[in-house]
Chains A and B, each alone.
Chain A
Amino acid sequence: MDLHELTILKALELIQTRAISSTELTKAVIDRIDKVENKVNAYITLVPEEALISAAMADQEIKQGNFLPLGGIPLAIKDLICTAGLKTTCGSKILADFIPPYDAGLITKLKQAGAVIIGKLNMDEFAMGSTNEHSAFKNTHNPWDLSRIPGGSSGGSAAAVAADMCLGAFGSDTGGSIRQPASHCGVVGMKPTYGRISRFGLVAFASSLDQIGPLAKSVGDCALLLKTASGYDPRDSTSVNKSVPDYSDLKANGLKNLKIGIPKEFLAVKGIDADVLRVINSTIETFKALGAEIIDISLPHTKYSVAVYYVIAPAEASSNLARYDGVKYGFRSDEAENLDQMYSKTRSKGFGTEVQRRIILGTYALSSGYYDAYYKKASQVRTLIIKDYKQAFNLCDLILTPVTPTPAFKIGEKIEDPLQLYLSDIFTISANLAGIPGICVPAGFSDKGLPIGMQLLGSHFQEDLLLNAAYNFEQATDFHRKKPDL
């Protein structure tokens, strides 16, 4: 096996037994990027020299017997998580040259854990999109079929992990932005409970929904990344002060006593691809064989989750993105004659079409006369969706659903019809509205050979239960072993 293909856990073992060095591993990953980046387009910024310096430092630590949790492991970061001194563009022209003066809470933790940061990954502008076609800089291609989208908004993250262009990555998930690209690219992706990982230094999209999470080649890697990233941060007022369990303590002992609920509403969604249904049905059989009990449940209000989301997320975004005014940082139009013009010319030139569409939608939903009909109504239905999940978790431990209605589609296929694209978020969005954790695990392939993931959802702070079920599933199947042919 080539070094760039290693999982994090295997690489740590080899580094700690001095079979390989972090420098060798990091060089192998850089070589891999050199070879396939022109096909995949996963990175916005690459910092190979800095990565090799960090790798050399990690090697020094290891020589002295200091084994850090991610010591010497090359990781990559979605380009909306602030990295001190390293450009953070958010996939937007308005932040094209923005160099953060500080590290995000996540980055501080990763550096303390000895990780090597190799670059910043492509994304839909401000995380608004599910194809990466809304990046201001480039289209990322799906490593399994370069004519297809990798998913989004963490599309660069999922594609880079799938193509072995990093050992693991961190993205963000506001309505499915980690789980959906993970499914399309055949990797593991997790959205933890809201508040589990600090959002300090995560560029805000919709603050009540945004959550950072890992993308990885295996469930074991995902657990280690989550464990390293989790924990209280007083700089994020929504960070939850709750101890972090040892997520890496995974046991393939079967799943007796585990009750998994299948929401009938999810399988009744119009337009689910036959391949996706086949994969979900075979996933159910695998869980039964592992000893889990499968029961039918109902989440009656989740069919409204897309409508709720496309009021709440744009409303929060319209407020969050008001800060981009061309004054203190970011792009400024130099065509303005007065302050008002400076604001509007800066914002119109700096933001792409999808971001402007959502700002207008959100501003409208919050505007006088429409607030009750849209924002208040959506927030009330959100309460009912949360109640649905609470009731469901009285009956079952975890919930199994598809991640997306179809496998990855062609680049350009849906870009002209935003509503059709929004509707494909139906399986992932309600977890963000309810703040619960969800994980996507590779679960099969379409007839055309495209990866298809399955999603497990758990109650708040049940990441350990989710990971253990996902691990048992992974150990009983071999979908995660297949690699794209690049």
Chain B
Amino acid sequence: MKISKNEVLHVAKLAHLTIDKEDVEKLSKQISSILDYVDTLKQVDTNCVKPTSHALLLTNAFREDTPKEHLDLEKALANAPKKEKDAFIVPKII
């Protein structure tokens, strides 16, 4: 399977990545060669095989819905690139 330069740009946009022009061709080649290799999976008959998302058969882990200690505001904001009072600051949206 080949991934074209346009598809690389489209997927990068979906993932919020800006790719430099000179890197697009390289990425398209590298990812295409990985996808070609992944295509070996087509050799495997997976009719009626259930997909596995977790190796151990885990079911949902529930807990009682009771309030617990949580990070205080100061700690939660300590790593913020931009903050003001009790809020994270981001560029204007509307």
B82–A332 contact, CB under 8 A? yes
Contact B17 A380 (CB under 8 A): no
Q: Is the interface of A mostly helix, strand, loop or mixed?
A: helix
B91 with A380: CB separation less than 8 A: no
Q: Pick from A306, A332, A364, A422: contact of B7, CB below 8 A.
A: A364
Q: Which residues of B contact A102 (CB under 8 A)?
A: 71
On whether the beta carbons of B15 and A195 are closer than 8 Å, the reply is: no
Contact A348 B41 (CB under 8 A): no
B92 contacts across to A, CB distance below 8 A: 338-339
Cα of A327 to Cα of B41 in the assembled complex, Å: 39
Chain A 417-441, CB within 8 Å of chain B: the 1/0 string? 0110010000000000111100000
Q: Which of B14, B30, B42 contacts A363 (CB 8 A)?
A: B14
A224 within 8 A of B: no
Could you say which residues of chain B place their CB within 8 Å of the CB of A329? Answer: 79-81
Considering only residues 321-343 of chain A, those with a C-beta below 8 Å from chain B are: 322, 325-332, 336-343
- The answer to whether the Cβ of B52 comes within 8 Å of any Cβ in the partner chain is yes
Picked from A99, A238, A343, A436, the residue with its CB within 8 Å of the CB of B58 is A238
* A336, chain B: closest CB distance, angstroms: 6
With a cutoff of 8 Å between Cβ atoms, the chain B residues found around residue A347 in the complex are 15-17
Given contacts A194-B54, A238-B54, A343-B16, could you give 18 more A-B pairs where the C-beta distance is less than 8 Å?
A99-B79, A195-B56, A234-B61, A240-B58, A306-B37, A310-B37, A325-B16, A332-B82, A338-B91, A344-B17, A361-B31, A361-B35, A364-B3, A377-B41, A379-B53, A381-B44, A418-B34, A419-B37
Interface contact B79-A328, CB-CB below 8 Å = yes
A30–B78 alpha-carbon span in the complex (Å): 30
Q: List 7 A-B contacts (CB under 8 A).
A: A240-B58, A327-B90, A332-B81, A339-B92, A348-B17, A364-B7, A379-B53
B6 cross-chain contacts in A, Cβ below 8 A:
none
Chain B: how many interface residues by the 8 Å CB criterion?
52
Name the residue on B nearest A208 (C-beta). B54
| Chain B residues with CB below 8 A from A328, complex form | 76, 79-80, 88
Known: A208-B53, A345-B18, A347-B16. A237 touches B11 (CB 8 A): no
Residue A445 CB within 8 A of the other chain: no
Question: Contacts A195-B56, A379-B53: A363 and B79 contacting too (C-beta < 8 A)?
Answer: no
- Chain A residues, CB < 8 A from B34: 310, 361, 418-419, 422
The interface residues of chain B lying within 8 Å CB-to-CB of A341 are: 91
Chain B 24-46 near chain A by CB (<8 Å), digits 1 or 0: 00010011011101101110101
Q: Which of B18, B52, B75, B80 has the most CB of A within 10 A?
A: B52
Question: CB of B85 within 8 A of chain A?
Answer: no
- Least Cβ–Cβ distance between A451 and chain B, in angstroms: 29
The interface of chain B, by Cβ under 8 A from chain A, is 1, 3, 7-8, 11-19, 23, 27, 30-31, 33-35, 37-38, 40-42, 44, 46, 49-56, 58, 60-61, 63, 71, 75-76, 78-82, 88, 90-93
Asked if A280 is at the interface of the complex by the 8 Å CB criterion, the answer is: no
Quick one: which of A98, A306, A386 contacts B79, CB cutoff 8 A? A98
A311 lies within 8 A of B38 (CB): yes
Q: Mark A246-261, 1 if CB is under 8 A from B, else 0.
A: 0000000000000000
A187 to chain B, nearest CB (A): 26
Closest to B93 in A: A339
Q: How many A-B residue pairs have CB under 8 A?
A: 168
Q: A234 touching B63 by the CB < 8 A rule?
A: yes
A382 at the interface (CB under 8 A from B): yes
A237–B61 contact, CB under 8 A?
yes
Once A357-B27, A383-B52, A419-B33 are accepted as A-B contacts, the answer to whether A377 and B46 lie under 8 Å apart by CB is yes
Interface string of A287-316 (1 = CB under 8 A from B): 000000000000001001011101100000
Contact indicator A195/B91 (Cβ below 8 Å)? no
Verify A376–B51 contact, CB threshold 8 A: yes
Bound together, the chains give a CA A83 to CA B13 distance in angstroms of 33
User: How far is the CB of A209 from the nearest CB of chain B, in Å?
Assistant: 8
Contact of A194 with B38 at beta-carbon distance under 8 Å, contacts A337-B91, A338-B92, A344-B17 already known: no
A327 touches which of B1, B71, B88 (Cβ 8 Å): B88
Tell which of B16, B18, B33 has the most Cβ of chain A within 10 Å: B16
Measured between beta carbons, the chain A residues less than 8 angstroms from B40 are 304, 307
| Shortest Cβ gap from A28 to chain B (Å) | 35
Asked if B55 and A364 sit within 8 Å, CB to CB, the answer is no
Query: Would B56 and A460 count as touching, CB distance under 8 A?
Result: yes
How would residues 186 to 217 of chain A score, 1 for a CB under 8 Å from any chain B CB and 0 otherwise?
00000001110000000000001000000000
B41–A378 CB distance below 8 A: yes
Q: Is B46 touching A208 in the complex (CB atoms < 8 A)?
A: no
Q: Which of B44, B53, B82, B91 contacts A304 (CB under 8 A)? A: B44
Q: Which residues on A sit within 8 Å (CB–CB) of B37?
A: 306-307, 310, 419, 422
The interface residues of chain B lying within 8 Å CB-to-CB of A377 are: 41-42, 44, 46
Query: Which of chain B's residues have a CB closer than 8 A to the CB of A238?
Result: 54, 56, 58, 61
Q: Tell me the minimal C-beta distance from B86 to chain A in angstroms.
A: 13
Contact yes or no, B51 A380, CB < 8 A: yes
The yes or no answer to A128 lying at the interface (CB within 8 A) is: no
Instruction: Please provide the 9 A-B residue pairs with the shortest distance between their CB atoms, ordered closest to farther.
Output: A435-B55, A379-B51, A329-B79, A332-B81, A380-B46, A237-B61, A101-B75, A343-B16, A348-B18
